[in-house]
Structure 1
């Protein structure tokens, strides 16, 4: 009788895109913990304990980053990273909307540039989500 082998879904390799996403998460997560006031303003006002939510999201980003880098945790970290990116998207939209008001002032070039950056960032969520899902093995 022939021996059968169990087919398993191998852990996706650690590629440049996954390393980049992990680096982004490590940087952003650290900033959440060191300078939480930067992010408090984009937490919806209906949510309680905004500072604590900023800390939690920072820790989540760091945990996802470290998980993406290790082969044993890459699959679950990829899914968690995709969920995290989807979860914070409304805050990124709020940041752009809030900065749109400031950018309307004719004499404030810095606000215009920052607003442009926040708008440019929004469509970048999709490639980051795709990278996270590839790291999870859900996309090829």
Structure 2
């Protein structure tokens, strides 16, 4: 089960990393405006980070450090989810609810990454 979980986590990270380059506009929109540089720079940088961390989780040799990095990455994107929840505060209830759910939704992702780290050999 631990290998399967690691592969799923890796796939999630790699897929998200690719999405940052394929459809960057949706990620640009949630970059907190207080960050220096352009939203697109942050979108690409976070995409590269997700690809690197996903690759590290995929390889048994780097899985422990990769999973720890994944937990940190999931925690680091929390401000973007908060920004999205704030920006979507006037959207229809379903969209507003989805945006709000992303904020506490980071917790299970962090815990999942830490579990993969703990189970890595």
TM-score by length of 1: 0.75
Q: Which has the higher helix share?
A: 2
**After the TM superposition, which parts of structure 1 deviate over 3 Å for at least 4 consecutive aligned residues?**
none
Q: How many residues align?
A: 118
Conserved? CA contact 1:64–1:81, under 8 Å: yes
Q: Which runs of 5+ in 1 are unaligned?
A: 1-12, 104-111
Quote the residue 1:49 is aligned against: 38
Instruction: Give the structure with higher Rg (CA).
Output: 1
Conserved? CA contact 1:33–1:55, under 8 Å: yes
Alignment of 1:1-140 (within 5 A): 13-16=2-5, 18-47=6-35, 48-103=37-92, 112-137=93-118
Q: What is the CA–CA distance in structure 2 between the aligned matches of 1:124 and 1:14, rounded to whole Å?
A: 23
TM-score by length of 2: 0.86
Cα-Cα RMSD: 1.9
Q: What is the CA–CA distance in structure 1 between the aligned matches of 2:102 and 2:43, rounded to whole Å?
A: 19
